[in-house]
Amino acid sequence: SSKIRNMEVQSADGIAVLEDCIGFSLTKTISKVEEKLKKGVLPDCQDDDIIPRAGNEMGTEAQIRFLKAKLRVTQEDLANVVFECRKKDDENQNLETRLKDTEEENTRLQRTISLQQSQTEKYKMLSQEANRKTEELQQEVTALEKVLQ
pLDDT at 44: 57
pLDDT tens digits, one per residue of 42-70: 555 555 556 666 556 678 888 888 889 99
pLDDT at 49: 59
Domain ranges of the chain: 26-148
Pick the most confident of 20-24, 38-42, 98-102.
98-102
Is the pTM higher than 0.75? The answer reads no
Q: Alpha-carbon dihedral of residues 35, 40, 43, 49, nearest 10 degrees? A: 70
Alpha carbons 56 and 17: distance in angstroms, whole number:
30
pLDDT at 8: 42
The count of C-alpha atoms lying within 13 angstroms of the C-alpha of 103, restricted to the half-sphere facing its C-beta, is 6
pLDDT at 119: 97
Q: Give the distance, in angstroms, between the CA of residue 145 and the centroid of all CA atoms in the same chain.
A: 78
Alpha carbons 28 and 70: distance in angstroms, whole number:
17
Burial class (CB in 10 A: 0-12, 13-18, 19+), 115: exposed
Residue 34 · residue 64 · CB < 8 Å:
yes
